[in-house]
Structure 1
Amino acid sequence: MTKLAIISTHPIQYYAPWFRYITQSTNLDIRVFYLWNFGITPQIDVGFKQILQWDIPLLDGYEYEFVPNLSSAPGVHHLWGLQNPSLVSQVKAYKPDAVLLMCYNYASIYRFLWHWNSLQIPLLFRGDSHRLLQPNGMKAWARRQFITQIYYHFAACLYVGKANYDYFRYHKVSEKSLFFSPHAVDNDRFFTQTESAKQQAMIWKQELGIPSHHAVILFAGKFESKKRPLDLLLAFLQANIPQVSLLFVGAGPLEKDLKSAAVGQSNIYFAPFQNQSLMPRTYAAADLVVLPSYGSSETWGLAINEAMCLSRPVIVSSHVGCAQDLIDRNQNGLIFPAGNVSALASSLREAFCDGERLRGWGEESRRIISQYSYTQATQGLKQAIEYTNSVSAKA
């Protein structure tokens, strides 16, 4: 049995079920080392600007331990937010055969890479960065050299999608050491709750005051500039589609701006942050889900996975990492140029010009997302471990 140490920033609602799946479905002996306890205790979320604690189990069904974080300002939004001096010693004490890192751009991870003997115990990395925006100049050149040096530490890398694969290749990771381990959510949780979520959504829409005969466009997430919720609001007004409402679900620094822009508009609605147990209902309330993010920070967009589990058609911007993988144009959704409000308005009109086709897009979404599951993610992980074992055996 292979002992695998996994280093993750904190318990994450998308990863914890995967760790549970690995434990229950493979012969891998895993232990997850968490560098921060966000998500399981009430703490301020920087993006949502409110106290948050996830309401689904994040620590059940797999081995884990927390590594004390001594940062004076703990968090994942800056380099020094994770400072865990005992990380190396705790991982060594587990005596793993390999170590999988789920992150690297933090003080603790740089220290770990500096002190870990990767020739003796190989390192794997799973990331989701992309270069959908391609910066130029000396700063971009220097960053490329630095990241390329970081990746030399890893015996194999797991890529979550096409844009991420291109990112690894750009940083000179060899093709033979790259393994597909797609980004996934707990598909089964959403699949099994689909029918009940639809019933709950009907009641919820009544409570929100959305007319029963209106279709709904949904934005669910943080109200922050990189997510571009204002772009969607402006595009919705420009599109002027009859019998369609726009629903914003979430919280964040742009909430006042959004509500100010919606004043006097009778078909724009707001709902507060919805915890994980309510997300199936949230997506079930929608006829179309939109993620209009701008910039390089939307490395994937796992909300799109969730929406597709509920058979929802989707529209995403060209800067969303999952666009190349999950959106089949005019089959389950559309992709528009990031930041182009008029193009987004046109996409909204295109989506709603044929209601029957839109429902067909939703059915195709569910078919596509069934191939982006923990099963496929785990297959890639096992292939990467087998590869590192074969390389070690030849050494």
Structure 2
Amino acid sequence: MEIKVFYLWDFGVKETRDITFGTSFTWDIPLLDGYSHCFLPNRSQKPGTHHFRGLDNPGADKEIAAWKPDAVLLFGYNYATHLGLILSQRLRNVPFLFRGDSHELFPARGWKPGVSRFLRRIVFQRFGTFLATGQANRDYFLRSGVIDRQIHIVPHCVDNDRFQSGAEDAHRAAAEWKKELGIPDGAPVVLFAGKFEEKKRPLDLLNAFLRLEPSDSSATAPVLLFVGNGNLESSLRAAAAEREGKTIFFAPFQNQSQMPRTYAAGDLVVLPSFGRGETWGLALNEAMNLGKPVIASSHVGSGPDLVIDGETGWLFPAGDVDALEKRLNQALSNNTQLRAMGEKARQHIAGFSYECATRALAGAMRGIL
């Protein structure tokens, strides 16, 4: 296959301020090497994926049509440019594939979910093939009127090779980093890595951790490490109070090159998100590549695929702090079991790789052409 990527926004390629992280940064790993691509001019006054006109690229259909593609793979549908491509007469005879990771694990009520599903049924008629990231995403497509034979599972993935090939160095670097942070040697580390924002529910994790029974030995008592930034940081530090620097620690935003070290610092990674916002949660993929078991809420889209309860990690009902506390106690009660589960997590994530996704995409393309 000959591939060309048409980017609608240059976030992360040049220094950009992330509203929810509350910081400006440029991703520090190569993003544009090894494939043909271009950036389509975005005229939005506030570019981004946080509103409909955040992706507004006039003439996108003309640029894509000029390349004469046999098929177009569209990531998303609910932005101005996406809608323009879907309605474009220039591309009316080109097969469209859709890729997204939405789900309906969050039990929304009222009339809006029904209306949204009705509108999706109309929009999705333009697509002949749907590339589902996993089980929850597949169910979302089926509820939106997509026929089962139109759906191909193309697993959501990160660069497994990058994380696993540097795992040994990452663990050595993590040991030094934990010393710098003041984490006691030998203390089990519960890790949260991400934005300190409401949908991630870091306060749920903090409150569950604060309920744990204290250990007789302060050197081996579990510690909680928050890595990231966001608007809840001050609330987290206030709730941690006098335990900050003793059993609760904070580290700032880490760029991509430092993420292997970040996950290597943990013994258990927790993603307690609440609501529809956590469409997949790629942090779990990254953590499992470093051999870490995970705890995820029932609203995390990857849960049905990545979390095998009691084997690669545990699930708990989203928003239930009591249930999260029980999972933490269960996980931290047996260090040997925790390490064994981490190895199973590393083995399981092999099925969510670039290679697996590429084979699945090639199969979908053969079906079209």
Q: TM-score, normalised by structure 1?
A: 0.90
In 1: Cα distance, 2:69 partner to 2:179 partner? 53
Counterparts of residues 192-211 of structure 1 (less than 5 Å): 192-211=165-184
> Percent identity over the alignment?
49
Q: 1:172 to 1:117 in 2, by over 3 A?
A: farther
In 2: Cα distance, 1:379 partner to 1:125 partner? 17
Match of 1:245 among 214, 218, 223: 223
Partner of 1:78: 51
Match of 2:320 among 337, 340, 344: 340
Asked if 1 retains the 8 angstrom alpha-carbon contact of 2:65 and 2:90, the reply is no
1:102 and 2:75 equivalent? yes
Unaligned runs of at least 5 residues, structure 2:
216-220
Unaligned runs of at least 5 residues, structure 1:
1-27, 390-395
Counterparts of residues 250-265 of structure 1 (less than 5 Å): 250-265=228-243
Deviation at 1:384? Answer: 1.4
Query: Bigger shift: 373-382 or 151-160?
Result: 373-382
Partner of 1:130: 103
Q: 1:241 to 1:314 in 2, by over 3 A?
A: farther
In 2: Cα distance, 1:224 partner to 1:135 partner? 20
Cα deviations across residues 109-146 of structure 1 (Å, max 9, x unaligned)? Answer: 11111114565110001111001023243322111110
Counterparts of residues 1-395 of structure 1 (less than 5 Å): 28-116=1-89, 120-242=93-215, 243-265=221-243, 266-389=246-369
Deviation at 1:354? Answer: 1.0
SS in 2 for 1:163: helix
In 2: Cα distance, 1:155 partner to 1:125 partner? 8
Q: TM-score, normalised by structure 2?
A: 0.96
SS in 1 for 2:242: coil
Q: 1:375 to 1:116 in 2, by over 3 A?
A: farther
Asked if 2 retains the 8 angstrom alpha-carbon contact of 1:177 and 1:387, the reply is no
Asked if 2 retains the 8 angstrom alpha-carbon contact of 1:177 and 1:384, the reply is no
Root mean square deviation of aligned Cα: 1.0
In 1: Cα distance, 2:138 partner to 2:90 partner? 26
Deviation at 1:233? Answer: 0.3
Partner of 1:17: none
SS in 1 for 2:250: strand
Query: Bigger shift: 102-111 or 321-330?
Result: 102-111
Q: 1:119 to 1:80 in 2, by over 3 A?
A: closer
SS in 2 for 1:100: strand
In 1: Cα distance, 2:206 partner to 2:213 partner? 11
Asked if 1 retains the 8 angstrom alpha-carbon contact of 2:85 and 2:91, the reply is no
Q: 1:109 to 1:154 in 2, by over 3 A?
A: same
In 1: Cα distance, 2:91 partner to 2:254 partner? 42
Deviation at 1:240? Answer: 3.0
Partner of 1:7: none
In 2: Cα distance, 1:298 partner to 1:331 partner? 22
